Amino acid sequence: MTTTTMTATATPAHKAGLTPIRPPLVTRAFAVRLISVIGASASFYLLLSVAPRYAAPHGGGAAGLASAALLIGSVAGEILTPALGARSGSRRTLAIGLALLGAPALVLTLTANPTTVVAVCAVRGIGFGLACVAGGALTAELIPPARRGEGLALVGLVGGIPATVALPAGLVLADHVGYAPVFVAAALCALGAALSVPALPKTDAATDTEEGTSVLSGVRTRELRRPATVFGTTAVAAGVLVTFLPLAVSHGSGNVVAAALLVHSAASTIARWAAGRYGDRHGSARLLRPALIVSASGVLMLVVTGNPVTVIAGAAVFGIGFGACQNASLSMMYERVAAARYSTVSALWNFAYDAGMGAGAGAFGMVCAHTGYPIAFALTAVLMLTALRTARRA
């Protein structure tokens, strides 16, 4: 759910034992591509916690459904992208995705009807899914193979900066200026980014549509399925955090929630960058299990919802593990495929991200209604640790 990028397969420096050639990373075309990365990220994260809270007066179930619709819609968009890209090309598919991400947000300025909120979230999710996978296909041509880890880290960093700002800013702005300006801002971020798409290279990356390069084939390939499963497990907790932390810490502690979401986003972005640098030198596989354990530890700290220090620290610890798992899992998956399966990696990784977040938000809402938030957070941490065996095998 951070915008995914795709890169060519290259032997990591730590395996080759050589000093790799370092071609330029940031070219003009790459810089133009970053505009759509920033716009999509800002638009998505501005409403990630705001839309569920907008629906929350109608019940915690409505909040959970809003997040689930957004993220399940993203999964649908990712699955649809290869077919749409084959017909229209990656650039046009990216532009369509940005339009679907931005324009529906304006509908929320007119109504708070929970059915409408859920529907808007679903359409925006489809747009985000299209933008992620189609944008990744374009990025594949722009990152030199010899700088895979650093390129992934840079795109993650650039996409993470607006996420870091937008996630807490959406809540703060909604509290101080109202919901409508936040919805308009989210729309403008995505629609404005769409204006940069015509400046991207016309030589779109090929879209794989054969059975052997489908998302289903990726699920059937254990070398890809295992790291994707571990990452998806951490994404479950991410969906819980952004959806329910504003509701769990509700006793006049809006600033605590905003601070927690800010440090979560910042820690995730920094950890993703550090993991990319480390992975190029020592191998990304070493990071997978530690990242999972750190993530679960952060979620467990959120059990103490009444202590601001514990809430903020838990969000930070989870962010560190989550960011490291993002980069490590994606880098591992790219190392294990040939060029013909790049889109499989992009779609499968995004599927794990969005399906995990959607499942986490939907299930947590039902569980916490019976157990309360502290026990539900503890159960989430235990669930994450069940993936340790998969992480070891990966």
Q: H-type helices in the chain, by residue range?
A: 13-16, 28-46, 50-55, 60-88, 90-102, 114-139, 148-177, 179-194, 215-220, 222-248, 254-282, 288-301, 308-335, 342-371, 373-385, 388-393
Query: Tell me: domain 13-201+210-393, CATH 1.20.1250.20, correct?
Result: yes
Across residues 165-169, what is the average pLDDT? 88
Question: What is the domain partition of the chain in residue ranges?
Answer: 13-201+210-393
Q: Between these two residues, 34 and 5, which has the higher pLDDT value?
A: 34
Label residue 17 by pLDDT band (50, 70, 90). low
As to burial, measured by CB atoms within 10 angstroms (0-12 exposed, 13-18 middle, 19+ buried), residue 14 is middle
pLDDT tens sequence across 101-122: 999 999 999 988 889 999 999 9
CA distances (Å), origin 99, targets 36, 40, 298: 11, 10, 35
Distance CA 50, CA 106 (A): 14
Predicted local confidence at residue 313, as pLDDT? 95
> Mean pLDDT lowest for which of 103-112, 149-158, 230-239?
149-158
Distance CA 41, CA 31 (A): 15
Q: What is the DSSP letter of 207?
A: P
pLDDT tens sequence across 303-328: 998 889 999 999 999 999 999 999 89
Taking the CA atoms of residue 327, residue 191, residue 127 and residue 220 in that order, the dihedral angle to the nearest 10 degrees is -30
Predicted local confidence at residue 366, as pLDDT? 87
Q: At what angle do helices 254-282 and 222-248 cross, to 10 degrees?
A: 160
pLDDT at 5 over 50: no
Label residue 59 by pLDDT band (50, 70, 90). low
pTM exceeding the 0.85 threshold for the entire prediction? no
- Token readout for 187 is 């729309």
